Chain A
Amino acid sequence: MKRRWIGGQSRNLVFLLGLLAALLVAPWLVNDYLLTVLIVILYSAYTGQAWNIMMGFAGQLSLGHAIYAGVGGYVAAVLFTRYGVNPWIGFLAAIPICAACGAVIGFLAFRFGVSGVYFAILTIAFAEFARIGFDHLDFVNASAGLFLPVKQYTHNDLLRLRGTPTMFYYVILAAAFAALALSRLLLHSRIGYFWLAIREDEQAARAAGIDTFRYKMYAVMISAAVTSFAGVFYAFFYNNLFPEQVFNISRSIEMILPPIIGGIGTLFGPILGAFVLTGLAESVTSALAAFGIDLPGAKQIFYGICLLAVVITLPEGIWPWLARRLGVAEGES
């Protein structure tokens, strides 16, 4: 193999630091619209990273991740609006609650040997159950939705998570990179190797002495706990929560698209996928607007066609392919 003057690992690090630096100065360079787009990108990179822990590392296909973001958002928002509890403390409350939700779903499924497609549909069922349940739960205002008080914020109050989009941008930027660091840490630890073994061949993993039930449970609970912050962020950024929206199956699908498109089980996949997908969606919107086409659905059709193209031509996702091109360590996984 040809030796390069910088090895794959350090190239990866240079690449990552460059991206981080660019994102850190971005708020001074872009307008409000692009800042919002960047927030959406980082948000989906974050949720993609969280989902990737469960599917990409441990091989458990969850199609109902909206439940963890939804429950997390509702916990923090209810505590804030009803009892004036600080959102960060609300987040601390959301972590164990979401992990418990994940534990219940995981326990029920893994105990009874529900796996693969069946597991995926069980996760959808729980998310739908939560959607309809919250829709009829008067404590959280049912289908009328839960609203957080909104003012024009002139100064940023990071402790109470109230402020300008720029503050939210840095919050989600920090979260996205924290999730990346956590994923890397997990992947290169004992638990991560056990997950990979389970993903590749569960029976062999069990034969090798891995307590597969326990490690699958860890995967669901950690993934759920990480996802919960996305819900808290969503609640305080958008200031409203509707069961019909936050628990909708479309939210779950939006969460899993970036890592699948970017490269499932890789560390950079979710980030790259988020940039590609959201970038694509926003360019299509602007292009259609430029041509004066105002068809609801036209954007989604184009989106669907692009998805088809990526799935057909790059089955492993974009990052593994790009990593080979750039000569960096392939996804580090």
Chain B
Amino acid sequence: MTFDVYLNVAVAGVLTGLVYGLMALGLSVIFGVVRVVNFAHGEMMSIAMYIAVVLFSALHLDPLVMLVPIAAVMFVFGYALQAGLINPFITRPEHSQFLLVVALAIIIVNALLILFGPDAQTVQTSYAYDSFAWGPLIVDATKLFAGAAAIVFTAALFVFFRVTLIGKAIRACADNYTGALVVGLNVNRLYALTFGIGAACVGAAGTMMTLITDVTPALGPSYTLLAFVIVITGGLGSMPGALLGGILIGFTEAMAGLLFVPSAKSMFSFAILVLVLLLRPQGLLGRRLA
């Protein structure tokens, strides 16, 4: 029995890790380009999760269907946030930016608390208890769908950054701020777009996450920390790194939950983070630190 159990837990962990990876990708894109550390990332994730939960309970709209619309809503939210509030802080010192985003996070968490109360809410789809079996491997349908959707969304993002003109322009801003200004790019608008894209990643990840787990307002800060652990493990600013980090952390959490106590699982993520920061500070797939 043992090997089967390990295999099943490992696969479930990797699938959850893909969703984590998509969430962390948003943080990585924002930091890589705008150079602002988004300490309200997990809080934005819980906004997306609540949108998905409300749409499901009020209109019976499946989170899988609502993936793109919710991502679009979060894009607008992120765009407005960067253009309206964060942009003047680009040149401020780190602690100043940090305070701004933390204030925002406090407002989001408590607004959600007032709107939805402290109790956990969940999405009960018709396939919530379905699973697929391949030989000894049994995979939850929800986790499989969530993982697959995360891969598709991430792939679309890769194509966007590699192929489209706007994607290339955003990468140019990240590589050389002054150079981007010199060639006439509208950096402020591209920053807002980038923040929007980062928020859309969180939107998609949050929507998928409702298939896997419950949502409470208090979850925000722990998702923020999780996103940081993943992004630094994978390499801040590296897109494949975020995905790899997500898979690694998802896998570690699942195995730690199986081998030790589930409540201690994030200790192992933090241990990985500390190891990575010490042995390879730029992250697994990150470029050398300047």
Chain A interface residues toward B at CB < 8 A = 55, 61, 63, 108-109, 112-114, 116-118, 120-122, 124-126, 128-129, 132-133, 135-136, 249-250, 253, 256-257, 260, 264, 295-298, 300-301, 303-305, 307-308, 311-312, 315
Instruction: Specify which of A113, A253, A297, A315 is in contact with B92 (CB 8 Å cutoff).
Output: A315
Between-chain CB contacts (< 8 Å), 25 pairs: A112-B277, A112-B279, A114-B278, A117-B236, A118-B232, A118-B236, A118-B281, A118-B289, A122-B273, A125-B270, A128-B225, A133-B267, A135-B263, A257-B99, A260-B96, A264-B95, A295-B114, A296-B114, A296-B118, A297-B109, A297-B114, A300-B110, A301-B106, A301-B114, A307-B102
Q: Which B-chain residue is minimally distant from A135 (CB atoms)?
A: B263
With an 8 A cutoff between CB atoms, is B137 at the interface?
Answer: no
Instruction: Give every chain A residue within 8 A of B289 (Cβ-Cβ).
Output: 113, 118
B274 interface hit (Cβ, 8 Å): yes
* C-alpha spacing A305/B100, complex, angstroms: 10
Across the interface, do B104 and A304 meet the contact criterion of CB distance under 8 Å? yes
B61 an interface residue at 8 Å Cβ cutoff? Answer: no
The reply to whether A298 and B110 form a contact with Cβ atoms under 8 Å apart is yes
Q: Are A260 and B94 in contact (CB under 8 A)?
A: no
Query: Range of interface residues on chain B?
Result: 35 or more
Cβ-based interface call for B120 (8 A) = no
A307 cross-chain contacts in B, Cβ below 8 A: 99, 102-103, 106
* Contact status A297-B281, CB under 8 Å: no
Q: Could you tell me which residues of chain B, from 185 to 218, have a CB within 8 Å of some CB in chain A?
A: none
Closest to A117 in B: B37
Q: Within 8 Å of chain A (Cβ to Cβ): is B163?
A: no
Known: A296-B113, A300-B106. 5 other contacts (CB 8 A): A108-B278, A112-B278, A132-B263, A305-B103, A307-B106
Chain A residues, Cβ within 8 Å of B228: 121, 124
What's the minimum C-beta distance from B84 to chain A, rounded to whole angstroms? 11
Q: Beta-carbon contacts of B234-257 to A below 8 Å, as 1s and 0s? A: 001000000000000000000000
Chain B's closest residue to A248 (CB) is B221
Across the interface, name the chain B residue whose C-beta is closest to A111: B278
B258 contacts A by Cβ under 8 Å? no
What does DSSP make chain A's interface, helix, strand, loop or mixed?
A: helix
Point out which of B95, B118, B229, B264 has the most chain A C-beta atoms below 10 A from its C-beta: B95
Q: Are B94 and A61 in contact (CB under 8 A)?
A: yes
When distances are taken between beta carbons in the complex, the residues of chain A under 8 Å from B92 are: 315
Chain B contact residues, CB within 8 Å of chain A: 37, 88, 92, 94-96, 98-100, 102-104, 106-107, 109-111, 113-114, 118, 221, 225, 228-229, 232, 236, 261, 263-264, 266-267, 270-271, 273-274, 277-279, 281, 289
CA of A122 to CA of B283, assembled, Å? 13
How far is A284 from B270 in the complex, measured between Cα atoms in Å? 37
Binding site secondary structure of chain B: helix
A-chain residues with CB within 8 Å of residue B271 when the two chains form the complex = 129
A311 to B86, CA, bound (A): 11
A-B Cβ contacts below 8 A, count: 117
- A259 vs chain B, min Cβ distance (A): 10
Give the residues in chain A near B103, CB-CB below 8 Å: 304-305, 307-308, 311
Assess whether B96 is in contact with A124, with CB atoms less than 8 Å apart. no
Known contacts A305-B107, A308-B103, A298 near B114 by CB under 8 Å: yes
**A161 to B28 alpha-carbon distance, docked (Å):** 48
Please give, as numbers and ranges, the residues of chain B lying within 8 Å of A305 by CB-CB distance: 103, 107
In angstroms, Cα B94 to Cα A79, docked, is 39
Q: Which residues of B contact A117 (CB under 8 A)?
A: 37, 94, 236
- B15, chain A: closest CB distance, angstroms: 24
CB-based nearest A residue for B268: A132
Instruction: Kindly list the 3 A-B residue pairs having the minimum CB-CB distance in the complex, ordered from nearest.
Output: A297-B110, A307-B103, A304-B106
Cα-based distance from A77 to B249 in the complex (angstroms)? 35
CB distance from B19 to the nearest CB of A (A): 21
B39 to chain A: closest CB distance in Å?
Answer: 9
